[in-house]
Amino acid sequence: MPKTDRPGTLTRVAGPVVVAENLVGAQMYEVIRVGALGLIGEVIRLEGSCATIQVYEDTSGLRVGDPVQATGAPLQVELGPGLLGSIFDGIQRPLPLVREQAGDFIARGITATAIDRIKKWDFTPLVRAGDQVKPGDILGTVAETAQLTHRILVPPTMEGIVEEIRAGAFTIDETIGTIRAHNDHSAPTAIRLAQKWPVRHGRPYARKLDPDTPLLTGQRVIDSFFPIAKGGTAIIPGGFGSGKTVAEQTLAKWADADIVIYVGCGERGNEMTDVLEEFPKLVDARTNEPLMRRTILIANTSNMPVAAREASIYTGITLAEYYRDMGYAVALMADSTSRWGEALREVSGRLEEMPGEEGYPAYLATRLADFYERAGRVVALGKDNRIGSITVIGAVSPPGGDFSEPMTQNSLRVAGAFWGLDTGLARRRHFPAINWITSYSLYDLRKWFIDNVASDWEAQTGEALALLQKEAELLEIVQLVGSDALPESEKALLKIGQMLREDYLQQFAFHDIDGFCPPMKQYWMLRVILTFHRGLARAIKRGTTLERIVKTSTPVSPSINAVLQTRKGKSSKAEQADDPSQDSVSTSQGTLLERAMALPVVGEIARMKEWPHPDAEMHGRELMEQVERELSTLR
């Protein structure tokens, strides 16, 4: 609604940033309609009645002298039942609806309301007339999907006495009841199923809690070695093509969150198309419901105006807070936060602000911190002390894969887990290419895994990671002096390292079974490999040399050869691609191991990934026995 009848006028247009005069009374971050088309923009600098506005739509064709109208409101999102399953652009316009109105390309200045206004929702009240209510109290519920009860809460700014509350079917605009503020003699306030919230302000909560439960991802390298907590933050930095997008999408599919919000921020359109095409077809293994029913997609691709990238990030986190306040575990994936940083840099440049490091604005660090700060596990407002969480996982795309650049460094400072993607691993088709030496997690979730998976979880994962670190050190030596100079025990360690890397860490995201690996299966897989490690160490102590293992063991049987071949074929389409850059150490190790695979159990270990999840313990126990049996026969 226009606040003044007299519009301002445009005095300057510079890409996504425009300047307008005579916007009397405009506020910082107020939404402004710019030009005859009414493009949507936001005030980002005010000097008297002269306002600088970042425009969320393409500004070509705007001219000096065009009218500019203030709307009197900040950028807000609409919150209510019907959000789940939606696909929005950066400023919460539903893309399918926009397409109906305007065709394949978003026409500029288009307004479309975020949530369906016609659909009726069955509302069941949980309060009665006369009840006192405070912010965050539950007024009633609506079944948004078969799995998710949407709690209608008293808005954070309202409290008083319920004067009226109705059960029945309502659209999001209809009044479901009224609340009268204490000692207020004016008319009571109408309550509806939907409410609005300004995106730049975090929604309030009662208090923050320490995270203590993992957000299970089903990705072995993450859950076993660098787990993230519900309410935690993680970043996935990685150079071009190192697997950021696949990682974000895999997490969006498998993370055990109630709600997933996926923000495609400034990345190529075809990556978003993958999501848009794939997600509606996927079924959530836990609930057997379509995965889209728990997902909200925000698509803001590289061909959309840069300023809207920032809006897409804020829109995403505000939607996340709304469901967190209902008491749900929300996971937000942003791919890639670097594109948001670049938008900040571009807008700041147009504002002629003093540039900071590498041209990014000096406030980059605070912007990032403010965003990640909105993650967390909290006690929500409201008398029932609901606990909700937002986990944020942001991809970062450092140019040239150089992690010392400002976006990576500033994100690293505020994130609790760092999953660094390694271009070298990606080139060797080791996926997910999370580097196990440089990555870390600051979340202490050992207790959860010990209580819920196995009492020796910490011992197993700790031992495996230590072996991998030892292997990395040895590989450096091998590169200098070759593996022949190593003592037998260290040659054995290289073998175990390779087994851990290939049969444990590598996980093909698109494999039907292996795409997701529950913690219990992770545990049994690790136990088998560690049993093999100990058995091999004992055999070496008895005087067996690896050389002799290779020589004396039976020649590779045709059936094992077949296993080897299928194993190669199964791992990944990408892995099959001939890669001339294969590092020589890994190749020579590969031939050594393949010869040692004359031990049938080694082939079996390589197939652990295909175990059906519920049978992991049974297979694990059988395989451990086989490991002991075969290794004890070695002399």
Ligand X SMILES: Nc1ncnc2c1ncn2[C@@H]1O[C@H](COP(=O)(O)OP(=O)(O)OP(=O)(O)O)[C@@H](O)[C@H]1O
- What residues make contact with ligand X under the rule CB under 6 A? 238, 240-246, 267, 397, 431-432, 508-509, 572, 574
Maximum Cα–Cα distance across the chain: 95
CB of 574 to ligand X, least distance (A): 4
CB of 581 to Mg ion, least distance (A): 21
Give the nearer residue to Mg ion in terms of CB position, either 285 or 574. 574
Give the nearer residue to ligand X in terms of CB position, either 557 or 576. 576
Q: Is 213 in the site for Mg ion (CB under 5 A)?
A: no
CB of 395 to Mg ion, least distance (A): 7
CB of 266 to ligand X, least distance (A): 10
- Residue 130: other Cβ atoms inside 10 A: 10
Amino acid identity of 504?
Answer: Y
CB of 219 to Mg ion, least distance (A): 17
Tokens of 516: 């997701």
Tokens of 3: 């606040």
Give the nearer residue to Mg ion in terms of CB position, either 278 or 625. 278
Question: d(Cα 60, Cα 16) in Å, to the nearest integer?
Answer: 9
Give the nearer residue to ligand X in terms of CB position, either 238 or 361. 238
86 touches, from Mg ion, ligand X, none (C-beta below 5 to 8 Å by class): none
Place of tokens 């199964």: 570
242 touches, from ligand X, Mg ion, none (C-beta below 5 to 8 Å by class): ligand X
Question: d(Cα 314, Cα 268) in Å, to the nearest integer?
Answer: 20
CB of 572 to Mg ion, least distance (A): 17
SS3 state of residue 220: helix
Bridge-based pairing of strands 76-79 and 39-47 is unpaired
C-alpha closest to that of 496 among 467, 526, 458, 523: 467
Give the nearer residue to ligand X in terms of CB position, either 339 or 495. 339
39 touches, from ligand X, Mg ion, none (C-beta below 5 to 8 Å by class): none
Q: Is 337 in the site for Mg ion (CB under 5 A)?
A: no
Give the nearer residue to Mg ion in terms of CB position, either 429 or 533. 429
Give the nearer residue to Mg ion in terms of CB position, either 342 or 488. 342
238 touches, from ligand X, Mg ion, none (C-beta below 5 to 8 Å by class): ligand X
Give the nearer residue to ligand X in terms of CB position, either 138 or 291. 291
Question: d(Cα 121, Cα 69) in Å, to the nearest integer?
Answer: 35
243 touches, from ligand X, Mg ion, none (C-beta below 5 to 8 Å by class): ligand X
User: In the beta sheet, which residues pair with residue 476?
Assistant: none
Plot region of 163 (φ>0 → left; ψ -120 to 50 → alpha; else → beta): alpha
User: Contact letters (x/-) for Mg ion, 542-581, by CB under 5 A?
Assistant: ----------------------------------------
Plot region of 520 (φ>0 → left; ψ -120 to 50 → alpha; else → beta): alpha
Q: Are the C-beta atoms of 259 and 323 separated by less than 8 Å?
A: yes
Tokens of 499: 């087994």
Place of tokens 């405070």: 134
Q: Is 245 in the site for Mg ion (CB under 5 A)?
A: yes
The footprint of Mg ion on this chain (CB under 5 A) covers a number of residues equal to 2
Handedness of CA 89, 95, 99, 103 (dihedral sign): positive
Contact residues toward Mg ion (CB under 5 A) are: 244-245
